[in-house]
């Protein structure tokens, strides 16, 4: 079976975890601080705050910005539903925005019509590791006095116009789930240039506790979203090989693009000028009139794992009746994620590309 994704783990991670377990310090200690410093260095921000998941990072970003009942946050419709869920759980409303069908990212042109006096943030998702088109998004946001939350869950190691994703605007949010570039099992990180905001985030992740007085003080109602020391130790080991992992993904993606070039019935992913992607996922769009799920099933019958790109939030029961987002809905119906991870061989890439070509050729002949 050629796996869709596979975490890059080795003896360094095992040794790092063993050292933590032997130390007896298991939660939010020196290793968490070191992991935060390493991520901050890569992202180019003075502050990084480790938390228990990427969704936890998004949740704290919303809370730290003071977003609540009566407020709105613009969220791209084609993304993991957690992006909208954290807004709704804060008592605010997720206003769903359509996407650019070439990049799958938030389409800046739709934003002016969605902004209202209640808009308190725009969430820009760097989907599948490809940076969103941030310049027009950030300019519009600055002109309206609206902060941008970067969902960089998939984008560690990606850059936009030479700048690292996650450090472009007010807050960046990362995930370290096993399908991401770098994994700690579960885990997440917030990054920011704003020192006061960083202090609010640190308090919110730890019950609202701040280091004041002899025993600290609980200055707000917070949550327990801390990262463990052994997760951070895994993350530190992963950070050492991040450049190599990104480089290998880019090699594999380049090979897939060459071998699938001109393949009928499939739209290949793009990398616009100024957008350097880490290729967290390699997502194609199957042509209208072709059954995406049949292509997925045919790949699986050949021992090649594949799945949908991601979800259209507006198509989920929890968000029935929300904004119409036709590009997102089409991507939800027709997008397909193909295997891409550093454990793949060049032969695996050829196997995947050949299978896609054969399946689509057979499908076209049967039409």
User: What span, in angstroms and rounded, lies between the C-alpha atoms of 198 and 208?
Assistant: 13
Question: What is the spatial order of strands in the sheet that 275-276 belongs to?
Answer: 163-164, 159-160, 275-276
Q: Are 255 and 345 in contact (CB under 8 A)?
A: no
Find, among 174, 200, 195, the residue nearest to 51 by Cα. Answer: 174
Q: Is 201 helix (H, G, I), strand (E, B) or coil?
A: helix
The two beta strands, 209-210 and 266-267, are unpaired
From the candidates 120, 139, 180, 214, give the one annotated as an active-site residue: 180
Return d(Cα 183, Cα 296) in angstroms, integer.
26
Q: Residue 316 class from Cβ within 10 Å (0-12 exposed, 13-18 middle, 19+ buried)?
A: middle
Cα–Cα distance, 9 to 297 (Å, whole number): 29
Q: Region of 46 please: left (phi>0), alpha (psi -120 to 50) or beta.
A: alpha
Q: Please, which residues have CB within 8 angstroms of residue 108's CB and are 6 or more apart in sequence?
A: 133, 136, 137, 140
Tokens of 362: 């057979």
Neighbours of 66 (CB within 10 A): 11
Of 152, 118, 119, 117, the residue nearest 134 (C-alpha) = 152
Beta-strand relationship, 148-151 and 163-164: unpaired
Residue with tokens 């370290």: 176
State phi, psi for 285 to the nearest 5 degrees. -115, 125
Location of structure tokens 């990084």:
48
Of all residues in the chain, what percent are helix, strand and coil, respectively (each to 5)?
Answer: 40, 20, 40
Q: Which of 247, 225, 124, 241 is nearest to 183 (CA)?
A: 241
Q: Report which of 180, 221, 214 is spatially closest to residue 200, judged by C-alpha positions.
A: 221
214 among known catalytic residues: no
**Catalytic sites, residue numbers:** 180
């Amino acid at each position: 079976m050629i796996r869709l994704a596979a975490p890059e783990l080795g003896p360094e991670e095992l040794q790092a975890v063993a050292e933590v377990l032997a130390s007896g310090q298991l939660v939010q200690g020196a290793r968490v601080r070191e992991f935060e410093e390493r991520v901050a260095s890569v992202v180019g921000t003075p502050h990084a705050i480790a938390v228990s998941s990427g969704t936890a990072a998004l949740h704290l970003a919303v809370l730290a910005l003071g977003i609540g009942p009566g407020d709105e946050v613009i969220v791209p419709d084609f993304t993991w539903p957690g992006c909208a869920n954290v807004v709704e759980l804060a008592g605010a409303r997720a206003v769903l925005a359509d996407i650019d069908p070439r990049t799958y990212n938030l389409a800046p042109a739709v934003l002016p019509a969605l902004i209202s006096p209640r808009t308190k943030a725009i969430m820009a998702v760097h989907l599948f590791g490809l940076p969103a088109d941030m310049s027009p998004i950030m300019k519009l946001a600055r002109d309206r006095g609206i902060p941008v939350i970067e969902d960089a869950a998939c984008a560690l190691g990606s850059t936009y116009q030479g700048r690292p994703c996650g450090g472009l605007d007010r807050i960046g949010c990362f995930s370290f789930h096993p399908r991401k570039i770098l994994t700690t099992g579960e885990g997440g990180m917030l990054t920011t240039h704003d020192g006061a905001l960083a202090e609010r985030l640190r308090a919110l992740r730890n019950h609202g506790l701040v280091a004041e007085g002899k025993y600290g003080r609980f200055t707000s109602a917070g949550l327990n979203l801390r990262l463990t020391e052994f997760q951070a130790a895994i993350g530190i080991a992963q950070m050492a090989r991040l450049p190599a992992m990104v480089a290998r993904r880019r090699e594999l993606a380049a090979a897939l693009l060459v071998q699938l070039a001109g393949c009928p019935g499939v739209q290949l992913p793009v990398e616009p000028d100024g957008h350097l992607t880490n290729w967290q996922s390699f997502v194609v769009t199957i042509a209208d009139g072709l059954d995406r799920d049949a292509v997925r099933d045919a790949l699986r019958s050949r021992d090649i794992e594949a799945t949908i790109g991601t979800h259209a939030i507006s198509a989920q029961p929890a968000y029935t009746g929300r904004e119409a987002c036709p590009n997102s809905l089409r991507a939800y119906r027709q997008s397909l994620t193909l295997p891409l991870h550093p454990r793949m061989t060049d032969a695996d890439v050829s196997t995947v590309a050949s299978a896609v070509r054969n399946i689509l050729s057979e499908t076209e002949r049967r039409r």
